[in-house]
A and B are shown apart, each in its own frame.
Chain A
């Protein structure tokens, strides 16, 4: 079974630029999550999708972050404009039903904003 694919692995941008991350979950997993992990901290949920609908985006900074999951499969997370404090690893995870099943994470995208 293929895992959760994320790209790019690394990205360096200047502040106020925009950036996009891509995620392809495990086939058949209805639930997809984007987490932000700042160095030295645990992952923090940004947004949760169930198929192509948003279930929870309460912690997504909507003035600069956006995400979509077209056709209920792939997902993209965008930041525009980026700030220095957005430097972090952005993790995508998928699950069959939800947290009760446990998550399968991708390797993440390490974003550095300079």
Chain B
């Protein structure tokens, strides 16, 4: 069974601070995706990383895929209250179905 472990589970910081959240697995994934979910809404896709060692930047967000394609990290620089939400990592499961397996998420709160 492929599992994705996310840490930390909760994170509360002040506006302007930097933070990193992690997504780890014992399994290799062909690609990993990061989503952000705000209260009362569905998750929204932020980025897909495909190649081991890949780094992608989206404004103040930096995503990295581990060399072995078993882990990923999300770094936010100078966090803002608008970054508040649940950050979910998801990996494409094995088999031809191509469905996503989600981690439990990191709940981020950025206080002004």
Using CB atoms and an 8 Å cutoff, list the residues of chain A in contact with chain B: 4, 31, 33, 35, 40-45, 48, 55-56, 91, 93, 97-100, 102-108, 110
**Closest beta carbon of chain B to A20's beta carbon, Å:** 19
Instruction: Give B46-98 interface residues, CB cut-off 8 Å to A.
Output: 48, 88, 90, 92-93, 97-98
Which of A4, A35, A99, A110 makes the CB contact (< 8 A) with B98?
Answer: A99
A-B pairs, top 3 by smallest CB distance, nearest first, are A98-B98, A105-B42, A42-B102
1/0 per residue, CB under 8 A from A, across B1-41: the answer is: 00010100000000000000000000000110100000011
A54 CA to B111 CA in the complex, in Å?
44
Interface residues on B, range: 20 to 34
Are A108 and B42 in contact (CB-based, < 8 A)?
yes
Are A42 and B88 in contact (CB-based, < 8 A)?
yes
Using CB atoms and an 8 Å cutoff, list the residues of chain B in contact with chain A: 4, 6, 30-31, 33, 40-45, 48, 88, 90, 92-93, 97-105
Q: Given A48-B97, A99-B92, A100-B98, A43–B48 Cβ distance below 8 Å?
A: no
Known: A42-B103, A106-B42. 5 other contacts (CB 8 A): A4-B42, A56-B99, A100-B98, A103-B43, A108-B42
Q: Given A42-B88, A42-B104, A99–B93 Cβ distance below 8 Å?
A: yes
Which of A35, A44, A105, A110 makes the CB contact (< 8 A) with B44?
Answer: A105
Are A56 and B97 in contact (CB-based, < 8 A)?
yes
Residues of A with C-beta under 8 A to B44: 105
